Amino acid sequence: MKRLTGTIAAISAAVLLAQALSAQQAKRAGGPASPLIRLFDTDGDGSLSAAEIDGAAAKLHALDTNNDGKVTMDELPRGAEPAGGVGFGPGTGPDLQKPLLPKDESESKAMAALDEARQGLRYANVPTADGRLLRQLTEAVGAKRVVEFGTSTGESGIWFALALRKTGGHLFTHEISAERIAVARRNFQRAGVEDLITIIEGDGHETVKQHKEPIDVVFIDADKPGYPDYLKQILPLVRPGGLILAHNMHQPPPDPRYIEALTTNPELDTSFVFMDSAGIGITLKKR
């Protein structure tokens, strides 16, 4: 633990140095901040707030996927490794992303709740860019019924609710941890979206059997070895033209059985995006 703590302190210092240097570079060249900052920049504003710095240690712990007490370059998400010590990672281009602008009061309330949720107990949650994509896809397909495996503390659920408020839909989210559910409920209430969300407590591999109706969008972000089973059980209920979304398709490494199931089934068409960070799989169930 002492060695890990020392490693975290050293990397945290390096991150802060990278932030300062890349900010200077970006200001001079008009380019984006160092991709290393993306590891900790949860709100996507290009800088690290005090809360994001405080949360950096937990993220670094999570990056130690082999639990050897160190974080090595091969454990960093692709694109986050410093190029030549500090600078831009491979495959990065201009950062055109801007903060989400609320359209109405309900969206402002939800976004404020997301900001507040990031200051508290977070566990594992999707970053802002990933959450925005979940919302965009859900609203684009006009989803009425969304099923999520892995509520965590509810940040992804709020992103889904932003879409479902417009489509007239509902989210059914599965979570095994009572502690995380308690935090998620508070976050949903703060966001004003509790009426759009049903939390199903228990082992998702068993509680999935409660679903009988067609599903428009599925999001899998629970126990990583369980992805193949979730897909097997839920796929028959996904409507033609529906989507199966899966988090952590790059970091931590996905279960090869899940990737094979997605990419060898002629009824499915899958693309992988945000592979310079956690990675998301977007799978269409063909009509």
Residue-wise pLDDT for 203-258, tens only, equals: 999 999 999 999 999 999 999 999 999 999 999 999 999 999 999 999 899 999 99
User: What's the pLDDT at 48?
Assistant: 72
Residue 175, helix vs strand vs coil: strand
Does 128 or 86 have the greater pLDDT score? 128
Whether 213 and 260 map to the same domain: the answer is yes
Whether 222 and 280 map to the same domain: the answer is yes
pLDDT of residue 45 exceeding 70: no
User: What's the pLDDT at 188?
Assistant: 98
Residue 173 host element (H or E): strand 170-175
pLDDT of residue 31 exceeding 60: no
Q: What percent of the chain stands above pLDDT 90? A: 60
What pLDDT, in 10s, does the model give residues 144-176?
Answer: 999 999 999 999 999 999 999 999 999 999 999
Taking phi over 0 as left and psi of -120 to 50 as alpha, with beta for the rest, 93 belongs to beta
Whether 142 and 221 map to the same domain: the answer is yes
Residue 244 lies in a domain: yes
Cβ neighbourhood burial of 177 (10 Å; 0-12, 13-18, 19+): middle
Domain count for the chain, please give it.
Answer: 2
Residue 235 lies in a domain: yes
Whether 77 and 164 map to the same domain: the answer is no
Whether 73 and 161 map to the same domain: the answer is no
- 56 pLDDT band, cuts 50/70/90, is confident
User: What's the pLDDT at 97?
Assistant: 77
Q: What is the largest CA-CA distance in the chain?
A: 57
| Residues of the domain holding 56 | 2-85
- 53 pLDDT band, cuts 50/70/90, is confident
Whether 174 and 276 map to the same domain: the answer is yes
Q: What percent of the chain stands above pLDDT 70? A: 68
Q: How remote is the C-alpha of 259 from its chain's centroid? A: 18
Residue 140, helix vs strand vs coil: helix
Does 132 or 97 have the greater pLDDT score? 132
What pLDDT, in 10s, does the model give residues 62-108?
Answer: 666 656 666 665 555 544 444 333 333 344 455 687 889 999 999 99
User: What's the pLDDT at 210?
Assistant: 97
The amino acid at residue 202 is: G
Whether 159 and 187 map to the same domain: the answer is yes
- State the average pLDDT over residues 171-186: 96
Using only C-alpha atoms, the chain has a radius of gyration, in whole angstroms, of 19
Whether 149 and 278 map to the same domain: the answer is yes
Whether 112 and 24 map to the same domain: the answer is no
Last residue of a domain, one of 29, 57, 85: 85
Q: What is the CATH number of the domain that holds 174?
A: 3.40.50.150
Strand spans (E) along 43-161 = 145-149
Residue 96 lies in a domain: no
Residue 95 lies in a domain: no
Residue 147 lies in a domain: yes
Whether 115 and 179 map to the same domain: the answer is yes
Residues 6+ apart with CB under 8 A from 268: 244, 262, 283, 284, 285, 286
User: What's the pLDDT at 3?
Assistant: 47
State the chain's mean pLDDT as an integer: 82
Last residue of a domain, one of 53, 85, 117: 85
Whether 125 and 184 map to the same domain: the answer is yes
User: What's the pLDDT at 82?
Assistant: 42
- State the average pLDDT over residues 190-201: 98
Whether 120 and 62 map to the same domain: the answer is no
Does 62 or 183 have the greater pLDDT score? 183
Nearest to 262 by CA among 241, 279, 278, 284: 284
* 3-state SS record for 204-228: HHHHHHHCCCCEEEEEECCCHHHHH
- State the average pLDDT over residues 166-189: 97
Residue 100 lies in a domain: no
How far is Cα 164 from Cα 40, in angstroms, rounded to an integer? 28
Residue 90 lies in a domain: no
Residue 10 lies in a domain: yes
How far is Cα 65 from Cα 81, in angstroms, rounded to an integer? 16
